[in-house]
């Protein structure tokens, strides 16, 4: 064989190319040939690393989620120890919104994947599980904040979690430039202000 190649690294590079295509050209133009062109490799080579289109999509999605988690984790380390739950929630929420290039690409990937999930049972199960897990974590965080007296004990943890997750609806509004980023942050902060006893 030619010089051994780091498979994982190569697959990640291809996934990044996929993100760029989604980001720059749109999901509707997401084809293997277009991705290969963007990655600077041949169509055949791409197929060597991914057996099927679906395999590539799944990998790119998992990789995106992984990267987002890492981004959040890194930012969390810069917070106090232990970090204030309000800051954790704010960070998590803002990292899920398309407020900077990386987040925008993964946000768009996500939207595309959700549309795919609506008519593919397997993709649906995967996405659903991932989201449910994220939701459970957030609810746990809120329950702890209540126990620690950061949040009024009359609040219902489940409902508060749902309301926070619903704020990801800002993504569409930002993308369409209906609301600009600073107003979004203002609204998010407002919501968090009311959640935590000021």
Partner DNA sequence: GGGTTTATCGGTCACCTGTATTATGTCAAC
Partner DNA sequence: GTTGACATAATACAGGTGACCGATAAACCC
Encoding tokens for residue 86? 């309000």
Which of residues 31 and 70 has its CB atom nearest to DNA in the complex? 31
- Kindly state the smallest distance separating residue 77's Cβ from a second copy, in Å: 28
Long-range own/partner contacts, residues 29-32 (CB < 8 A, 24 or more apart): 30/112, 32/56
Nearer to DNA, 52 or 73 (CB): 52
What long-range pairs does 39-42 form, CB within 8 A, spacing at least 24? Answer: 39/13, 39/14, 41/14
- Distance CA(138)–CA(83), nearest Å, equals 14
If one asks whether residue 25 binds DNA (CB under 7 A), the answer comes out as: no
Backbone φ and ψ of 9, nearest 5°: -60, -45
Nearest to 59 by CA among 18, 94, 114, 6: 18
Quick check: 8 binds DNA (CB under 7 A)? no
User: Which stretches of the chain bind a second copy, using CB under 8 A?
Assistant: 25-29, 108, 111-112, 114-119, 124, 127-128, 131-132, 135, 156, 158-159, 162-163, 165-173, 175-179, 183-184, 186-187, 190-191, 194
Nearer to DNA, 44 or 82 (CB): 44
Judged by CB under 7 A, the residue of 7, 100, 128, 186 near DNA is: 7
Residue closer to DNA (CB basis): 40 or 149:
40
Give me the least distance between CB of 37 and DNA, in Å please.
9
Residue 162 tokens, joined: 């749902």
Q: Which residue has the tokens 């980001």?
A: 23
Shortest separation between residue 190's beta carbon and a second copy, angstroms? 5
3-state class (DSSP) for residue 65: helix
């Amino acid at each position: 064989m030619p010089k051994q190649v780091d498979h994982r690294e190569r697959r990640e590079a291809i996934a990044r190319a996929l993100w760029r295509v989604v980001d720059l050209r749109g999901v509707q133009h997401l084809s293997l040939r277009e991705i290969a062109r963007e990655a600077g490799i041949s169509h055949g080579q791409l197929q060597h690393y991914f057996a099927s289109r679906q395999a590539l999509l799944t990998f790119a999605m998992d990789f995106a989620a992984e990267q987002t988690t890492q981004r959040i984790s890194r930012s969390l380390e810069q917070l106090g120890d232990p970090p204030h739950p309000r800051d954790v929630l704010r960070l998590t929420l803002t990292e899920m919104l398309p407020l900077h290039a990386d987040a925008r690409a993964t946000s768009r990937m996500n939207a595309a994947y959700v549309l795919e999930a609506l008519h593919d049972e397997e993709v649906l199960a995967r996405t659903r599980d991932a989201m449910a897990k994220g939701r459970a974590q957030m609810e746990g965080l809120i329950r702890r904040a209540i126990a620690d007296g950061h949040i009024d004990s009359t609040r219902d943890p489940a409902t508060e979690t749902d309301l926070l997750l619903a704020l990801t609806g800002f993504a569409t509004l930002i993308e369409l430039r209906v609301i600009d980023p600073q107003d979004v942050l203002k609204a998010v902060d407002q919501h968090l202000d009311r959640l935590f006893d000021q």
